[in-house]
Copies of this chain bind each other. A is one copy, B any other.
Amino acid sequence: MSAALPPLHSLDPIGPGHRVTLGETLPLKLDCGLDLGPYQIAYTTYGKLNADRSNAVLVCHALTGDQHVANVNPITGKPGWWTTMIGPGKVIDTDRFFVICSNVLGGCLGSSGPKDSDPSTGKPYGLRFPVITIRDMVNAQAMLLDHLGIQQLFCAIGGSMGGMQVLQWAASYPERVFAAIPIACAAKHSAQNIAFHEVGRQAIYADPQWHKGDYFEHNTIPRAGLAVARMAAHITYLSEAALHRKFGRNLQNRERITYGFETEFQVESYLLHQGSSFVERFDANSYLYITRAMDYFDLAGQAGGVLANVFQGTKTRFCVVSFTSDWLFPTTENKEIVRALNAAAANVSFVEIETDKGHDAFLLDEPVMFATLQGFIDGCAEQRGLNGRSEKGGRA
């Protein structure tokens, strides 16, 4: 495995961003029943908040994402994970909007999580960190917005687990979200998705270097187990068609098969790289916590089992986006959200985008997605009384 990068816990994950301590006076009441406070949230911002504080856009990141959405990532040295969507003149135009992205609670890029020191012991929390939920993540983000003096978001947007957070925002704080864009997600995590997450967790538990979560005390990390977890998950982010197009049965640096157990096919090499690079940037315990948060997500369960109840009376404008080849959060699950929103008489657009790129399409160059969201955002901005698009112009 690659050892080119220094270990995650020796780096400053904040990079060009900020970190704030919250919950000092009033703690965060977690779904598990515990109070958390003080705790820290790391975040980045782009653009300027306007005078009436009406142009804020909250970007919610996915399972292994982070707050470095449009700046160079200080851990990997790579561009931010959504530079296709966010920046000057882009769909989420940083010349027009004040964009905020925070590392989720339980994460490992500067927000409080299992990697942090437990003040009561001086050692990393490990599994002693309280179990968190998507709603806890959103409540922490709401306290960050309070801190920033932002009463209402112009828009909350995110894909995958980011989309779950967007839905939770609209459910928990309808008056604080003018427009909501949940992409490639679901209102509850399916049995198959729980199963894939459990495989990943079991791979981590199976690694003796995990030490029941206390690996930092043993000066190690469960590298092999976390890599296997990432490899299994990564397959689910793509589509069979994309894997076939990219790799097919092509061999890795050889003309013919060698009849052995070394890396033989390009798709194997690709997966191995996904696994080994992931362990350089992500904490194994955070992976456990965040997958668990997704598994627990069941928005209807917060309202007597009826999803439409969650959104009753909402004034938020929704744009739900799915992808034809996404088998992790297939269109049927996105449509359940749309059906519930319609049943709640909400203002909702829905677009299923034709692509063979699978679940990860939301991170990629998808012109139809950009055009759809540009139109939706422009319309909402007009309704919100925001100035027109920046003079630099957008993609369209």
Residues of A within 8 A of B (CB): 31-33, 127, 130-131, 188-192, 194-196, 198-199, 201-203, 205-208, 224-225, 227-228, 231-232, 235, 238, 240, 243-244, 246-249, 257, 259-261, 264-265, 267-268, 271-272, 275, 288, 292, 295-296, 298, 327, 330
| 18 sampled A-B residue pairs with Cβ under 8 A | A190-B240, A190-B249, A191-B240, A191-B244, A191-B247, A195-B235, A195-B271, A196-B235, A199-B231, A202-B231, A202-B272, A202-B275, A203-B203, A203-B228, A206-B224, A240-B327, A259-B296, A264-B295
Find out whether the CB atom of A249 lies under 8 angstroms from the CB atom of B298.
yes
Q: A202-B272, A265-B194, A267-B198 are in contact. Are A259 and B31 (CB under 8 A)?
A: yes
A191-B249, A194-B249, A195-B268 given; name 4 further pairs at CB < 8 Å: A190-B243, A194-B265, A202-B272, A240-B327
Q: Which single member of B228, B264, B288 contacts A202 (CB below 8 Å)? A: B228
Contact at A199–B235, with CB atoms within 8 Å? yes
- The residue in chain B whose Cβ has the minimal distance to the Cβ of A248 is B191
- How far does the Cβ of A31 sit from chain B's closest Cβ, in whole Å? 7
Query: What distance in Å separates the Cβ of A242 from its nearest Cβ neighbour in chain B?
Result: 9
B188 touches A249 (CB 8 A): yes
A31 to B258, CA, bound (A): 10
Find the B residue at minimum CB distance from A289. Answer: B261
Cα A127 to Cα B257 in complex, Å, equals 17
- Given contacts A202-B228, A207-B206, A249-B189, whether A195 and B243 have CB atoms under 8 Å apart is yes
Q: Is the CB of A131 within 8 A of B260?
A: yes
Pairwise interchain contact B231-A271, C-beta atoms closer than 8 A: no
Q: How far is B197's CA from A231's CA once the two chains are assembled, in angstroms? A: 11
Q: How far is the CA of A208 from the CA of B206 in the complex (A)?
A: 10
- Given A131-B260, A327-B327 in contact, is the A228-B244 Cβ separation under 8 Å? no
